[in-house]
Amino acid sequence: MRPARRTRTRRLLAILAASNAVVLAPHAHADPDDYVAVPAVEYGEREVELRLGTASATDEGRESAASLAFGYGVTPWWATEIYGKWHRSGATSFDAIEWENRFQLTEPGRYFADFGLLVEIEWPRDRAEGYELRLGPLMQKDFGPVQANLNVLIERHYRASEPEVTELGYQWQLKYRFAPALDFGAQGFGEVGAWNDWAPLHEQEHIAGPAIFGKFALGGRQVLKYDAAVLFKLSSAAPATTLRAQLEYEF
């Protein structure tokens, strides 16, 4: 088999294997420290990532979350990351372990848009939540100095004590490339309920607001990246304000 064909075959097999692994396992609610995944992969890059988020009180009280991860660009088209996740709603507790995989499906800039695939499997500490799968396409397009991202993600819990529903959510961002250390734009996150039977608008969660992004080269392969956003409710079921931030050390 020719090398290029072998690489394409391996890529499809890896994507299908990851998809099947998730499907074989069993609710969508965005964590306040969620982030907007991008379709590009940096081959050979290792990273330590910290994510923080807090959402103002709703009927369930203030909810905060933090995640610490280690990631690696295994191939030019596959990056994988393992997260430890903590949650605070009253008391702070270890919440889950998550395995995230991003697949770069197209070379950045080659076609009218860039495409990737996100496959996440989460093992919550609370066994009543079962296993969680999140999966969906990642899309990116540049409009001059503005980068636009849209990700449509479905999420499902398996072997959970509650009825298993496949839910639909989304993430988007706009980023204006101002300077390497400070780009600015906006981000938004939302969930509409079951993927095939959307909840009434007042039960859906939609949040959006301004965001900043930046990168500092520390020499050699070492880079520090950040992004942060203040997100406001766009629907009555969403928390009034969510603060989220992400810090990555790449080496």
Partner 1 sequence: MPFIRIALATALLAAGAAQAAGEPEFALTIRDHRFTPGEVRVPANVKVRLVIDNQDATPEEFDSHALNREKVIPGRSKASVFIGPLAPGRYPFMGEFNASTAQGAVVAQ
Chain contacts with partner 1 (rule: CB under 8 A): 8, 12, 15-16, 19-20, 22-23, 40, 42-45, 73, 76, 105-111, 115, 117, 119, 133, 135-137, 142, 144, 147, 154, 156, 166, 177, 179-180, 195, 215, 217, 219-221, 223
Least spacing, CB of residue 51 vs partner 1, in Å: 21
Least spacing, CB of residue 208 vs partner 1, in Å: 22
Least spacing, CB of residue 229 vs partner 1, in Å: 19
Chain length of the chain: 251
* CA distance linking residue 215 with residue 188, whole number of Å: 21
Least spacing, CB of residue 77 vs partner 1, in Å: 10
Whole-number Cα distances in Å, 174 to 24, 53, 143, 146, 205: 35, 20, 10, 7, 20
Select 38 or 65, whichever has its Cβ closest to partner 1: 38
Tokens, residue 218:
């520390």
Tokens 């496959």 found at: 119
Element (H or E) spanning 130, and its range?
A: none
E strands in 11-164 = 46-58, 61-75, 78-89, 91-104, 114-124, 131-143, 146-158
* CA distance linking residue 101 with residue 99, whole number of Å: 7
Select 17 or 128, whichever has its Cβ closest to partner 1: 17
Q: Are 145 and 176 in contact (CB under 8 A)?
A: yes
Least spacing, CB of residue 78 vs partner 1, in Å: 13
Select 2 or 110, whichever has its Cβ closest to partner 1: 110
Select 84 or 137, whichever has its Cβ closest to partner 1: 137
Least spacing, CB of residue 202 vs partner 1, in Å: 25
Pairing state between β 91-104 and 114-124 = antiparallel
DSSP letters spanning 115-128: EEEEEEEEEESSGG
Select 61 or 145, whichever has its Cβ closest to partner 1: 145
Select 129 or 167, whichever has its Cβ closest to partner 1: 167
